[in-house]
Structure 1
């Protein structure tokens, strides 16, 4: 039972080679691109959503922070599309892998921190020791603030992994219960099937929300260091 439960989180292979790279590239191929002078409705909605999110995220940034706008929009589209990819049958969700999420979180966090130490050295060091701290608490507070700084990328990656994994596991359990109850109690099976449909709709929303939350937190880290 445990092997079947977690089988969907195992990286798929072909002839002994992992094909996760091809899976990651698949959503970007399916995104519509404008190839005519007049855009269709899907491209127009996509452009409107990108402009809205860009405006919302970049409002609080200065000129240095706004240079990251293209990277942040690419990040939210990439995470959102890969999250949605796992909701289709016979598919795989790359963002359920902690290693991949750490691979995204650590470089982005490190880039923001290095940028802060480069352009705002005094302000960045001031975060380790707030003004008015009693002298006996200074060593302990510096250690705590240092740990909290280095735990930020871990929190980013674990948050995304846990939310996507929990939703997929819950859908797997409810779908298994629906199949088991289908021959025993059709009425209860119908109720669990309705719950499964509602949960699937919720998972579509969670997939997009988690992409937004991940990107927003990276944007906030960038704002604190620019």
Structure 2
């Protein structure tokens, strides 16, 4: 029986119990934690350097009130990178290929930035809906367009992350299936295809990191508009 290519994106279950929660919690089990020693090892030092560097680069252009979000967005960055990278291992499940998970991360954070902007600077927040100098006949149309573009932001965040990871996983499975089939029919071509698969795997590792960074970067841009 031929399985569907999309079976790899179904939530795993054991004895009828969904293992989705374990797939979400699993990345935190592999993150190194500080110990009682005075000097950290290389892994902890590298993690601390990455966290400081990312936080500095992300929050330098943001006003000081927005620096309160440093812990949230940095943790989200590490969380997304861990989920995306672990999903590339064999016999694993990538929760970020599910649109529901990505929207569950995007919608609350986006809504929090919007509500914070409406509370702290309502005039500036509402001013984004109507550019300055707009002709009077175009005011209703532009307000509707800007409102739609505002509400579509979290959907774009979730769909972008889901589509990129899903497309990469599908392409890797297609090429791996082709290598397996051609192994006995055309060994030379199978070796060449395996080399392409190796390059694609390296590309997917880069995509997993870049898409996590883009997700958090766009969220920081939404935050910058409302602080």
Q: 2 CA distance for matches of 1:29 and 1:183?
A: 41
Match of 2:15 in 1: 15
Deviation at 1:17, TM superposition (A): 1.4
Task: Kindly state the Cα deviation for residue 150 of structure 1 after the two structures are TM-superposed.
Answer: 0.2
Q: Which residue of 2 aligns with 1:76?
A: 77
Q: Post-superposition shift, 1:4? A: 3.0
Q: CA offset at residue 85 of structure 1?
A: 1.2
Residues 101-135 of structure 1, C-alpha deviations (whole Å, 9 max, x = no match): 00000000000000000001000111111111011
| Distance of 1:14 and 1:185 partners within structure 2 | 38
What is the match of residue 111 of structure 1? 112
1:87 is paired with a residue whose SS is coil
Matches within 5 A, 1:205-224: 205-224=206-225
Q: CA offset at residue 152 of structure 1?
A: 0.2
Q: Which runs of 5+ in 1 are unaligned?
A: none
Q: Kindly indicate whether residue 90 of structure 2 is the aligned counterpart of residue 96 of structure 1.
A: no
Aligned pair 1:161/2:162, yes or no? yes
In 2, Cα distance between equivalents of 1:3 and 1:133: 55
- Secondary structure at 2:178 match in 1: helix
Whole-Å Cα distance in 2 between the matches of residues 174 and 218 of structure 1? 34
**Distance of aligned partners of 1:2 and 1:124 in 2 relative to their CA distance in 1, 3 Å threshold:** farther
Trace 1:4-153 onto structure 2 (pairs within 5 A): 4-35=4-35, 36-153=37-154
- The answer for the alignment partner of 1:181 in structure 2 is 182
Offset, 1:3: 3.8
Structure 2 stretches lacking a partner, 5+ long: none
Q: CA deviation at 1:2?
A: 7.6
Superposed structure 1 runs of 4+ greater than 2 Å apart = 1-4
* Number of residues of Structure 1 aligned to a counterpart in Structure 2: 226
Q: How far apart, CA to CA, are the structure 2 residues paired with 1:200 and 1:40? A: 29
C-alpha root-mean-square deviation of aligned residues, in Å? 1.0
| TM-score, normalised by the number of residues in structure 2 | 0.98
